[in-house]
A and B are shown apart, each in its own frame.
Chain A
Amino acid sequence: MSVNSLHIFIPDLCGLGLSFNIGGLGLVMAIISTYMWIQTSLFSVEYMKHAAKKPRYFFFLVLTYISTTLVFLSDDVYTTFVFFEIMSIASYVCVIHDEKEKTLRAGGVYLAVAVIGGLVTLMGIFLLKDLVGNLSYETLRDMCEAVLHGGNTSKIRQLYIAAGCILFGFGAKAGMFPLHIWLPMAHPVAPAPASALLSGIITKTGIFGILLLAVRVLPNDSGFGDVLCLLGVITMLLGGLLGIFSMDIKRTLACSSMSQLGMIILGCGMIELLGEENAIAVRGTILHMVNHSNLKLVLFMAAGVIVMNLHKLDLNEIRGYGRKKTALKCVFLSGAIGIGGIPLFNGYVSKTLLHEAVVEYMMHLHDAQRAGLFKAVELLFLLTGGMTVCYMLKLFICVFVESNTDKKLQDEYDKGRKYMSPLTGAVLFVSAFVLPAFGILPFLTLNRIADVSEGSLYGGALEHAVNYFSLENLKGGLISIVIGVLLYVVFVRKLLMIKNSDGDLVYIDRWPKKLDLLTLVYEPVLLVILPAVFGFICRAADFLLDGLILFLRQTTHSQLRERKRIPEGYLRAYYLGTITNKLEDLCRSFLGKGKRKNNYIHILAGKQFVLRESHRVINASSAFSFLMFAVGIIAVVIYLLLA
């Protein structure tokens, strides 16, 4: 714990009392949250000018802000969880603001993931609370270590299950594979300021929770570290891939968020794996959180300016919009360069640190096989960096360099009409200014941030200061850039663009529609299979006693016993019909489907009548045939006798 921190405990509020710790990483993130909220609110003024239900939007924006900030400032698991849940619900209302069908579907997925994640986390917290009793962050690490080294296998198992449950909820918020589904859906449909907050700061609360697990619940646990690394690598690769394929500017940015968050989760894994020497990993993780927030603020607001003017997101439609708009171009470019990890911008610094962390772990390893594995992780990290460069290039070239295939539209775009208010412009510039400022002077800015906050994560001492601009580190950045440019030239230009009928190159969506985790797995399982199976079992249970009473009333306790006249000659139809009637009644009451429409006794009696008639006809006709047959035979016999 940092020395300069202020602990506040409010007893009895929300039952157990809420406690806050103002200092360290939490304070840094809270300040960023405040900064982002101010920027997005100012941006909202123009963006939401013509939107309906503004009070609702701003109310929930404020609620989201307060709860997000308090998540970062919380000092025990309970407080974190309380505000985490409030944040999830409040941000939902911001996401679905325009209430269109697509928005509502995306919002529904977001809400479902949030609710399921929250409940699973709650289960984890129950288990954790049962193990350690006191959930305060100050004592949590020691208590969990005591459990881990206590040797009681059932308790250790419970701790792992608890950690897994908590990881589920926070990981879902952090866009971790396989719970990332909401991220690429919710961002494109949300209002741009909400997207910026969602991507920039709300996903960070998920990371905050994962960090809590990594440094407090399972400190220096290599098994958990491996899991985090694996999930991180999958998330960042998948995010990058989806980003390259995406056809929608905000979706690309959302996938980019997923990819960057994957990197951060990898960083969390490295914190675990490096053990005592995790200083670089800690600093890298923290700084990438900080940088990613700032970057996504700029990028989403820049995208927001486009959406605000055009109300379109498709790359083919917005193509060429920014050609003559220098201010917007500069702002977007600085964001793109920053997130691409190009030196002298902020993203480079944190990516370098994360890269260093992986390399350092590799050097510590003696096991050749494992070292090879982490060599692969390092390469994949660089590849992801390349992917980032690639999709950013795709966006930038599409919107700001190329001209639209529709000449009239391009002229319209180039007319130089006013496209943002001075306030929005100022907000964009301030946000964009931060990026190179952090990148050029990392020693003055980013290093200080890391110094302040690393204490909260029990970071070890830094062995040597990292020279961000050394040849070795610049090489890593350069490799990524080269990969990115290659990917763009070879993959995007050749495979993701085709010539249309006029001979112009246009972007096409080559991602197979079927390959969607949500429609392929989650929806069938959660909405069809499970409810059907359990619904059937529960219906049976629900019907148990009522069914018994019904059965008794029909058989032994029948109250109204009227003598029924059985129609003469239709005995079989009567009994069979009664049984069928009862069976259908039973099935219907069991399945809850109204009253029976037909009386089987009548139907069967009718059938029996027909049967009897035809019987008679057949009998008669066959009797006649036999007669004729006999006549014939007699005739034949007489003929034979006479011949």
Chain B
Amino acid sequence: MSYSISELITITFKADTLGIVFSVFFAFIFILVGTAAKEYMEHEGGVKRFYVCFFLTLIMLELLCYAGNFFTFYLFFEAMTFVSMPMVMHEGTHESVMAALKYLFYSVGGAFLTLFGFFLFVSKGYELVFTAGGSTGDMPLNGIELAAAFLMILGFGTKAGMFPMHGWLPTAHPVAPSPASAVLSGVITKAGVFGIIRCIYYVIGCERLKGTWVQSAFLILTLITVFMGSMMAYSENVLKKRLAYSTVSQVSYVLFGLALMNRVAFLGAVLHVFFHSLVKDMLFLSAGAIIMKSGCKNVSDLSGIGRRMPVTMWCFTLCSVTLIGIPPTSAFMSKWYLGVGSLESGIPVIRWLGPVILLISALLTAGYLLTVSLDSFFGKDRSGEDKIGDPGFFYRLSMLILTALSVALGIFPGHLSGIIESIADAVIR
């Protein structure tokens, strides 16, 4: 399906496996979070306003998944930023408006970087249609094209929270309502990842980037982000900010896998997109439940809360274990593929440094998440007066589904990894 705006610019939609998998997954997450959001937003106020933006964001995401060329993708990518921004400033306080503006400026600024590549390749007569393996020729890239490719990666990397453009994440997440943070962190950052996949594997072609400075720079940036994110999360006291930094770190696991540009790492990266999304949505929902029921925002206030909100904290604990990557949970699978893929890639130093940093980061993940859940179950109960309990049925249901999936997909990943392997076969020759 395509419309022509001008000779060079057409809007095209196409459904390929990658897009279908991502769109189904995004919709699934949105439905679950949306179910839970009702209770939270009724508590917070402004239900209608929130749901309008929430589902507009979903529509943009879905259109983005089915975009057939770069221009269409860019269009909906920007639109998604604009419709998701109101969710950040939902509270309407000065702080939240400033955070929303920061989110807007970072995202738009990042997206502008990608335009450079678009203009460069369009001027050479390519249409930038998404084709597995690349659509801009087979010639080795020259200097300016490499620079353009790097800017495109950096630009989409902004949305995915890659250093040095990750600044919006820890600012926007704590002020947004929890369901909004959940989708921001779990889904919208993944749109950035999706953009990078399209960019590397569908526009430029990974064979042409392999071994260039772009790949090395990309790898180094992702590794810095992985370490920095978890270290910052480790020293952060505000729960939602901690989770935001955790997202910074975890999404860069995915980017690291994409930057390695081999089959195993690609498989690990795309699996981690799904697993991290499930886990992080669940973690933000539980943070939301805690805020909604007890008003505690700081980690240090949470001790003993697990006894009063058992379902929430059990889900939190299981998801923490998953995110650390303890088998047989799902994120262990993706980490396994990332580690093996990294060693297989044969890039000097980074081949072993990558897994080392991933594992150190996993250790820090244990340090910043497991301590929370242990403290919440075994710590001293602070006040026994106010009635704090688990959230309502639908809220619990979506938390339970997310948790169950994030654990079970590690034990039975067969079908999902089969689909992704077929994608990997198509894009990596």
Query: At the interface with chain A, which of B116-124, B191-199, B326-334?
Result: B326-334
> A15 to B359, Cβ gap below 8 A?
no
Q: Chain A residues near B362 (CB, 8 Å)?
A: 119
> A15 to B333, Cβ gap below 8 A?
yes
> A123 to B356, Cβ gap below 8 A?
yes
If A15-B337, A535-B234, A538-B228 are given as contacts, then 4 extra A-B residue pairs at C-beta distance below 8 Å, sorted by A number, are: A13-B411, A14-B328, A119-B359, A542-B167
Give complex CA distance A483, B344 in Å: 55
Flag whether A474 is at the interface (Cβ < 8 A). Answer: no
Contacts known (A86-B328, A130-B344); A14 close to B164, Cβ less than 8 A: no
Flag whether B40 is at the interface (Cβ < 8 A). Answer: no
Min CB gap B306→A, angstroms: 11
Most chain B CB neighbours (cut-off 10 Å) among A15, A89, A538, A544:
A15
> B363 to A111, Cβ gap below 8 A?
no
Give complex CA distance A536, B235 in Å: 10
Flag whether A109 is at the interface (Cβ < 8 A). Answer: no
> B224 to A129, Cβ gap below 8 A?
no
Flag whether B410 is at the interface (Cβ < 8 A). Answer: yes
Residues of chain B in range 332-385 having any CB-CB distance to chain A below 8 Å: 332-333, 335-337, 339-340, 342-344, 352, 355-356, 359, 362-363, 366, 370, 374, 378
Give complex CA distance A104, B232 in Å: 26
Flag whether B321 is at the interface (Cβ < 8 A). Answer: yes
Flag whether B417 is at the interface (Cβ < 8 A). Answer: yes
Q: Chain B residues near A108 (CB, 8 Å)?
A: 374
Min CB gap A528→B, angstroms: 12
Give complex CA distance A115, B352 in Å: 20
Most chain B CB neighbours (cut-off 10 Å) among A115, A120, A129:
A115
Give complex CA distance A187, B78 in Å: 58
> B356 to A115, Cβ gap below 8 A?
no
Min CB gap B392→A, angstroms: 25
> B363 to A115, Cβ gap below 8 A?
yes
> B228 to A14, Cβ gap below 8 A?
no
Give complex CA distance A89, B234 in Å: 21
Q: Chain A residues near B340 (CB, 8 Å)?
A: 126, 129-130
Give complex CA distance A85, B328 in Å: 8
> A541 to B414, Cβ gap below 8 A?
no
Flag whether B227 is at the interface (Cβ < 8 A). Answer: yes
Name B334's closest neighbour in chain A (CB-CB): A15
> A96 to B378, Cβ gap below 8 A?
yes
Flag whether B259 is at the interface (Cβ < 8 A). Answer: no
Q: Chain B residues near A96 (CB, 8 Å)?
A: 378
> B336 to A111, Cβ gap below 8 A?
no
Q: Chain A residues near B170 (CB, 8 Å)?
A: 542
Q: Chain B residues near A126 (CB, 8 Å)?
A: 339-340, 342-343, 355
Q: Chain B residues near A82 (CB, 8 Å)?
A: 327-328, 332
> B228 to A119, Cβ gap below 8 A?
no
Residues of chain A in range 102-134 having any CB-CB distance to chain B below 8 Å: 104, 108, 111, 115-116, 118-120, 122-123, 126-127, 129-130
> B324 to A12, Cβ gap below 8 A?
no
> B232 to A538, Cβ gap below 8 A?
yes
Q: Chain B residues near A639 (CB, 8 Å)?
A: none
Q: Chain B residues near A539 (CB, 8 Å)?
A: 232, 235
> B417 to A535, Cβ gap below 8 A?
no
Give complex CA distance A89, B407 in Å: 15
Flag whether B412 is at the interface (Cβ < 8 A). Answer: yes
Min CB gap B382→A, angstroms: 16
Give complex CA distance A210, B355 in Å: 23
> B235 to A14, Cβ gap below 8 A?
no
Name B355's closest neighbour in chain A (CB-CB): A126
Flag whether B231 is at the interface (Cβ < 8 A). Answer: yes
A-B pairs with the 10 shortest C-beta distances? Answer: A12-B414, A130-B343, A82-B327, A538-B231, A126-B339, A538-B228, A119-B359, A15-B333, A545-B164, A546-B167
Give complex CA distance A13, B335 in Å: 16
Flag whether A504 is at the interface (Cβ < 8 A). Answer: no
Interface bracket on B:
35 or more
Give complex CA distance A104, B377 in Å: 11
What are 19 pairs between A and B in contact, CB < 8 Å?
A13-B411, A15-B413, A82-B328, A85-B326, A85-B327, A85-B332, A108-B374, A115-B324, A115-B366, A115-B370, A123-B339, A531-B235, A535-B232, A538-B227, A539-B232, A541-B164, A542-B170, A544-B164, A546-B167
Q: Chain A residues near B337 (CB, 8 Å)?
A: 15
Min CB gap B271→A, angstroms: 9
Flag whether B76 is at the interface (Cβ < 8 A). Answer: no
Contacts known (A127-B352, A538-B232, A545-B164); A122 close to B339, Cβ less than 8 A: yes
Residues of chain A in range 558-616 having any CB-CB distance to chain B below 8 Å: none
Flag whether A81 is at the interface (Cβ < 8 A). Answer: yes
Contacts known (A12-B414, A14-B410, A111-B370); A123 close to B359, Cβ less than 8 A: yes
Flag whether B26 is at the interface (Cβ < 8 A). Answer: no
Name A13's closest neighbour in chain B (CB-CB): B411
> A118 to B232, Cβ gap below 8 A?
no
> A535 to B231, Cβ gap below 8 A?
yes
Flag whether B163 is at the interface (Cβ < 8 A). Answer: yes
Flag whether B165 is at the interface (Cβ < 8 A). Answer: yes
Give complex CA distance A85, B332 in Å: 11
> A116 to B231, Cβ gap below 8 A?
no
Min CB gap A289→B, angstroms: 25
Give complex CA distance A275, B337 in Å: 36
Most chain B CB neighbours (cut-off 10 Å) among A16, A119, A127, A130:
A119
Q: Chain B residues near A122 (CB, 8 Å)?
A: 335-336, 339, 359
> B355 to A14, Cβ gap below 8 A?
no
Flag whether A451 is at the interface (Cβ < 8 A). Answer: no
Flag whether A406 is at the interface (Cβ < 8 A). Answer: no
Give complex CA distance A123, B360 in Å: 10
Flag whether A99 is at the interface (Cβ < 8 A). Answer: yes
Q: Chain B residues near A99 (CB, 8 Å)?
A: 378
